Structures are given as structure tokens and as C-alpha cells.
Amino acid sequence: MPRLAVDFGTSNSAVAYMDGGAVRRVLLEHGEDTLPTAVFFPVGGAMQIGRAAGQALIDGVEGRYMRALKSVLGTPLFHESRLMGGRRQTLADVVTAFLKRLRDMAQDQSGLSFDAVLSGRPVRFHHDPVRDQQAEDDLRACYVAAGFTTVDFLFEPEAAALSSVGNSGDLGLIVDIGGGTSDFTVFRRGANGVEVIASHGIRLGGTDFDRALSLTTAMPELGKGTELRREMGEGRLPVPQAIYTDLATWSAIPFLYTRETERMVEDLVKFAVERPKLERLQRVIRDHLGHDVAFAVEAGKIAVNGDGPAQIDLSVVERDLSLRLTKGGLNAALAEFTDPLKMTIYETLQAAQVSPMQIGSVVLVGGSSLMRLVQDTAQEVCPTAQLSRSEAFTGVVDGLALAAG
């Protein structure tokens, strides 16, 4: 019975299967073998996924856009019923529908029937073991509801190790930085394949990078860090920070668009010391521009990680509003993540009982592994290792397909 390999990611997803001894990736959208893990519910229309979901948002279609669904696995929010797509449903229902679309596309292209699936999963969905197991149980239930009768899981960095190439006998370290988690695997290449020695992970990824950068750049332009006049008496109060944290968090943005939030922001504007900034916040909430701001921050992060300074274009909020972003500014915004990443790499090496100097190669996997911060941290811990880039977005699904076969 053929098994389908699915890399259901926080930011992107990919699907593959074995065909005549070779990995065959499913073309998911416009000839691409990866798909943004995003959905859009237009008012009165059918759910759209992937790039089509993002385009609907950009085009200003009325509806609800959702991204980073994987980060909600294992939480009570995943099972809360809400009005989406004209009916009450849960995020579990949404993930199920997304996975069913992936299965349908794989079956249509391959001509095969896939009742079994091998899915990637992070080493840790959550630090808490109970919640971590609940997240796997949630995802398993979604696969079953999507039509799979047999569901197995493999740690994502271990799958990436299976698809890596190198010299026999070498010790390697997979550094898999995804949208929501960072995972690491020490492995040895041998004549009979790859031997996994130890794996470790933390709940930290690209969406955390986006949130930190947004909180230090875009959110101050919407009033974060400003003050309010007291309704009675003298003195001033700080503007509440919770709304900015939610507005900078991909998975929380859709739930800000309520009348309750609008009323709260109206009160903030009324007593704002820097009123124009709070009026921008009001515009973002009223016109549902939270994801537009998040996309602008993400685009700036990617651009500045290249050759030079970049811009965070917030003209969707206010004409000509744009923020200059430098490498130094990016590094300062993300500085808090260096130590957790470094410590987790050391803990992975310790679990494998190998020293940093024994690692011959560091293999970077996942879109966020392309960040200079990640590369510099890995190189600092393993200074003699050769840094190599796997297929950043398909290394995991290729390894899953090999294991599934």
C-alpha cells in the first residue's frame, strides 16, 4: 500500500511519494512543489488555500485569512467553534479540509489511492509533554478525518537527514528552522544509509522572528510604547501592549477583528497623547489590515537578510509610511533568540555524546534557516563544520518520502 509523505508546515507545506524508486513531489499550485499553509474564507464562497488565499487577501476580497495554523495544535483554541466560511467550525475542521485538499491533489496527479500517510512533526510542538502529545493527537485526528486510515509520524529533522548527501562516516548536524519550531538532529552517514544519533527541538521559529521584528519596528508606528491621558485626574498611563502582541502574531490576527476590539481602540484614540499613531491602529483593525502589516514586516526581514538595507512598506496603512530596516536593526530585534538556538544545539550534541569539533557538516533546512542569525549561530557552535544548504523547503518532504517508501 503506497504511503503519502506530507510535510505540513507552519508557513509552507509539501507532499511527495515514491515512484519507481525515486521521490516524486506533488505539484500543488501553479507548478510549484510547495504551498503556503494558508487559507482564505471569502464571504459566500468556497475556501481557498495557498497562494490563492494570499492573493485574495491582497486583492481586498471580503473574508477571513488564516495562517500559521500548525502553531495552534495542542491548544484549546484548536477546538473552539467560530463562524468561518458562513458556518460554525473549528480550526481542526480547517486543518482537516486543508489536508484533504493535499490528499486529493496527490491522488489526482499520481493515479494512486493514498490511505496511509507519513507526516513530519517537530521534535517538540510544545515544551510541555502533555500539550506536545495533544498536538500530535490533534494532527492525527485531522489526517483521519481527511480520509487517511493509517497515520505515522517522523521527526522533521530526521527526515531531512535521510535526504541529505555527503561522505560516508561523516557526522552531520541538521539545523531545521521552520515557521514555528527549531529542530536539530545529529546523524552519521554510513554505507547502509543514515543513522540518527540524537534529536532535540524548541518551540521557536520564523513566526517568532516576524513577531519580534514587528514589535520593534511596525507596532511603534501604531502607538506601541506611547501614553494615554487619564480620563480623570492628572498623570498618564501606558497604552496596553496585548493588542500589539496579537497584531504581530500570525495566528492571532484574525481574532482581533471584533466589535469589542474596535470599541477598545476607539477609547485608546480618544485619550491618546500621540493620536495619529493610534488612529493608524484604528485603521488597521477597522479595515482588517493586520495581515498586510505582517506581510510587509516579513518581506522586509527577507530583503534585509540579502545584500543591504530594506524597507518595511506600510503604505497600506498610511500613504508614504515606510520604515528603513538595516542588518543591525534586524540583528538587534532578533538578539533574544541567539542564546536559545545556541543552547539547543549544544544540548543536541550533548545528547549525541559528540563534541562540536566532531561535526563535519551542518545542513540548513527550512525557510528560516536562511537567516544570517541562524547560520552565524550554527557556525559559532561548530566552527570546523562545512555549512551546506539542503533544499530549504523540500528537504523534509523528500526524506519523508524515502522513509515512507
If DSSP states are collapsed to H, E and C, what string results for the chain? CCEEEEEECCCEEEEEEEECCEEEECCCECCECCEECEEEEECCCCCEEHHHHHHHHHCCCCEEEEECHHHHCCCHHHHCCEEECCEEECHHHHHHHHHHHHHHHHHHHHCCCCCEEEEEECCCCCCCHHHHHHHHHHHHHHHHHCCCCEEEEEEHHHHHHHHCCCCCCCEEEEEEECCCCEEEEEEEEECCEEEEEEEEEECCCHHHHHHHHHHHCCHHHHCCCCEEECCCCCCEEECCCHHHHHHCCHHHHHHHCCHHHHHHHHHHHHHECCHHHHHHHHHHHHCCCHHHHHHHHHHHHHHHCCCCCEEEECCCCCCCCEEEECHHHHHHHHHHHHHHHHHHHHHHHHHHCCCHHHCCEEEEECHHHHCHHHHHHHHHHCCCCEEEECCCCCHHHHHHHHHHC
In this chain, the answer to whether the domains covering 3-158+398-404 and 168-205+336-391 adopt an identical fold is: yes
Reported pTM? 0.92
Q: What is the pLDDT along the chain (405 residues), one digit of tens a residue?
A: 799 999 999 999 999 999 989 999 999 998 899 999 999 999 888 999 999 999 999 888 999 999 999 999 999 999 999 888 888 999 999 999 999 999 999 999 999 999 999 999 999 999 999 999 999 999 999 999 999 999 999 999 999 999 987 767 789 999 999 999 999 999 998 877 899 999 999 999 999 999 999 999 999 999 999 999 998 778 899 999 999 999 999 999 999 999 999 999 999 999 999 999 999 999 999 999 999 999 999 999 999 987 778 999 999 999 999 999 999 999 999 999 999 999 999 999 999 999 999 999 999 998 888 888 999 999 999 999 999 877 778 999 999 999 998
168-205+336-391 placed in CATH 3.40.640.10: no
User: Domain 3-158+398-404: what homologous superfamily?
Assistant: ATPase, nucleotide binding domain (3.30.420.40)
Domain spans of the chain, in order of start: 3-158+398-404, 168-205+336-391, 207-335
